[in-house]
Amino acid sequence: MAHTLAEKILLAHADVDEVAPGDIVMVHCDVVMTNDISGPIAFRAMERMGADRVFDPSKVVVVPDHFVPAKDTRSAELQKLLRDWSAAQGVTYYEQGRGGIEHTVLVEDGWVVPGSVIAGGDSHTCTYGALGAFGTGLGSTDIAACLASGSFWQAVPGTIRVEFTGTKGPYVTGKDLILAVIAEIGVAGGTNMALEFVGDGAAALTVDERLAVANMAVEAGSETGFFPADETIAEYLDGRTDRPWTAERSDHGADFAQSLRIDLDGLAPLVALPHSPGNVVPLDQATGRRIDQVYIGNCSNGTITDLRQAAEMLRGRKIADGTRAIIVPASQRVYRQALAEGLLDLFVEAGAMVSTPTCGACFGGGGGVLGPGENAITTTNRNFRGRMGSSEAGVHLANAWVAAAAAVAGEIVDPAELAEAG
Amino acid sequence: MTRICRAIVIRQDDVDTDVLYPGAYLNVTEVEKMVPYLFEGLDPSLRDQCQGDTVLVVESNFGAGSSREHVPQAMLASGIRFVIGKSFARIFYRNCINLGLPALVAPDAVDAARPGSQVAVDLDEGTVTVDGERFDLAPIPDFLRDMFAAGGLVPWMRERLAAS
């Protein structure tokens, strides 16, 4: 029987002989990840399940990243709890200053390989789909079950095949591709589905661009979203991991619930207007909006690729009066790379603030939350009302070129025009 | 048949978990301390409407976004016994099930409910009654019925871990 890639991965991780969409199966994890928000509640639930040890310490990763560095004593207590629990359980723990944002860290450090199943106590665990993994975001009680037994329950998803064709133009990035998908199917269009990204346009994307695409699969309501592994991924993983993996694809003749094609020729940069990631318009319908704060970072678009794009816009220019910019490398590794390339100096010279890696203001946790009436443009993944602070603030989602150009202009502009203006 | 619960109603699609429980309060881990922030970004007055046994009635794709379990935890602690909706976002749905808070799909019942409606559910029969009028629930897989019967994933796991 022909299977989709999602079905193949789940078949290889469940004690069943066959799967079909809608079947509920217990799925065995290759990696279980949690953080300073989902972790403490999960540890308590695990105890209540009667488990005092994790199923396999070598498969558990703990990354404090949300309220990091601690914004108050309560956050510090959570981080201490995480640190102590990790030591007691003998699991891998990324101390602050040695990791960064969880999803970036797990990808960089070789925890993620194609075909693996990763359960994470964070909705953006789907990011691992960039490498062809089945990463899925879970709540604390699910994570508790994963910690205790290594398994979670999962309804086998259908698959929406998303084919990217053509070649993307200048100032278009992975962010625009996934915003185009969400615009097409809507914020609930992926419910009970996995998104599978294929086609020449997908194959041409770098790992950083794929991270941006896979990261926001959850913003379409999907269970997860992934790219079948290819040479780009093999090259990326070479020397990064000793975990075995094979490149799998959906079988010829596999049954897709839906297929859509997005032509990258002629695709403009896109902007998601407040207050939904599905509220997507072409850039030219968003220009002229005044911007108080620019935020470049987070698990979707805080990569070195994003920082280089921002640097290209900010090089030799200044942040506009009345506008502030916060740049948040997604990991210590990205931070050092940016440092080595002179990007951090360039950002500071332009008048931007450079933050240590953190989830920070992306979810309103700290380090740049918005006040009432303020407008922001960000490379983050959610612009729900109140997401970044005041419920009277507006957040626009865009790629790093567009966000950085807005920092210079003080309003949303076309980065191509800024570049031409010199 | 469950006990009769009083309805509170949210007439909005795609309600996200950020408005249901804002991110700034995610460093709260004690359930009773989560309650004052429930519905904070949507309509704080909904908190006052949770009096005694309550059913939350919602529209489509309810609970979109973040995996924060604070939302259903605070709902349970506020007296919400079950949620009836047209559809749910995946992680919120899982979290409800896992915590023993049945999230049930019954579009016609959602349309019929008004704030203050008297609502009861019969899981065995697969029906929900709103002010005396009976509606079908969408089919519930056996796996989830077991989870409801166990009272959520914690007791469900406790039983299995003890047996293994």
Q: What is the pLDDT of residues A28-44, one digit of tens each?
A: 999 999 999 999 999 99
Of A78, A137, A389, the CB nearest to B91: A137
Band the pLDDT of A181: cuts 50, 70, 90. very high
Report chain B residues whose CB lies below 8 A from the CB of A138: 67, 91, 94
Band the pLDDT of B1: cuts 50, 70, 90. low
Give tens-digit pLDDT for A327-368. Answer: 999 999 999 999 999 999 999 999 999 999 999 999 999 999
Q: Which CATH superfamily is domain B5-163 in?
A: Aconitase, domain 4 (3.20.19.10)
Q: What is the mean pLDDT of residues A125-140?
A: 98
The per-residue pLDDT for B3 is 81
| B15 → chain A, closest CA residue | A384
Report chain B's mean pLDDT, rounded to a whole number: 96
What is the interface pTM, i.e. ipTM, of the complex? 0.98
Whether the per-residue pLDDT at B119 is higher than 90: the answer is yes
Q: In chain A, where are the structural domains located?
A: 5-263, 271-415
Q: In this structure, how many other beta carbons lie within 10 angstroms of the beta carbon of residue B44?
A: 12
Q: In chain B, where are the structural domains located?
A: 5-163
The string of DSSP letters for A288-340 reads T-B-SEEEEEHHHH-SHHHHHHHHHHHTT--PPTT-EEEEE-SBHHHHHHHHH
In total, the C-beta contacts within 8 angstroms joining chain A to chain B are: 141
d(CA B97, CA B119): 19
Whether the per-residue pLDDT at A90 is higher than 90: the answer is yes
Q: Measured between CA atoms, how close is A32 to chain B, in angstroms?
A: 15
Strand ranges (E), A121-179: 134-137, 151-155, 158-165
The per-residue pLDDT for B17 is 98
Q: Which CATH superfamily is domain A271-415 in?
A: Aconitase, domain 3 (3.30.499.10)
A271-415 and A5-263 share a CATH fold? yes
Assigned token pair, B98 = 């896992």
| A68 → chain B, closest CA residue | B27
Q: Tell me what percent of chain A is helix, strand and coil, each rounded to the nearest 5.
A: 35, 20, 45
Of A72, A140, A384, the CB nearest to B19: A384
Q: Which positions 106-135 of B are in contact with A (Cβ < 8 Å)?
A: none
- CATH code of A5-263, in short, is 3.30.499.10
Is B100 within 8 Å of B73 (Cβ atoms)?
Answer: no
Residues 6 or more apart in contact with residue A325 via CB below 8 angstroms: A293, A294, A295, A296, A314, A319, A347, A350, A351, A352, A353, A404, A407
| A24 → chain B, closest CA residue | B143
Report chain A's mean pLDDT, rounded to a whole number: 98
The string of DSSP letters for A218-267 reads GGGT-SEEE----HHHHHHHTTT---------PPTT---SEEEEEE-TTP
Does residue B99 sit at the A interface (CB-CB below 8 Å)? yes
- Residue A370, beta-bridge partner list: A389
Cβ neighbourhood burial of A58 (10 Å; 0-12, 13-18, 19+) = exposed
Q: Which positions 113-172 of A are in contact with B (Cβ < 8 Å)?
A: 121-123, 137-142, 144-145, 148-149, 153, 155
The per-residue pLDDT for A19 is 97
Does residue A211 sit at the B interface (CB-CB below 8 Å)? no
Is A183 within 8 Å of A219 (Cβ atoms)?
Answer: no
Whether the per-residue pLDDT at A419 is higher than 90: the answer is yes
Of B28, B41, B68, the CB nearest to A385: B41
Q: Cβ contact (<8 Å) for A44 and B19? A: no
Segment holding A62, helix H or strand E = strand A60-63
The per-residue pLDDT for A1 is 87
Does residue B59 sit at the A interface (CB-CB below 8 Å)? no
d(CA B115, CA A386): 26
Is B52 within 8 Å of B77 (Cβ atoms)?
Answer: no
| DSSP 8-state class, residue B137 | P
Of B14, B29, B144, the CB nearest to A40: B29
Q: What is the mean pLDDT of residues B76-100?
A: 97
Of B13, B28, B91, the CB nearest to A123: B91
Q: What is the mean pLDDT of residues B107-111?
A: 98
Does residue B37 sit at the A interface (CB-CB below 8 Å)? no
Q: Tell me what percent of chain B is helix, strand and coil, each rounded to the nearest 5.
A: 40, 25, 40
Does residue B98 sit at the A interface (CB-CB below 8 Å)? yes
Report chain A residues whose CB lies below 8 A from the CB of B66: 123, 363, 382
- Disruptive mutation site among B157, B160, B164 for chain A (greatest number of A CBs within 10 Å): B157
Band the pLDDT of A422: cuts 50, 70, 90. confident
Rg (C-alpha) for chain B, rounded Å, is 15
Cβ neighbourhood burial of B164 (10 Å; 0-12, 13-18, 19+) = exposed
Least confident of A189-193, A235-239, A381-385, B160-164: B160-164
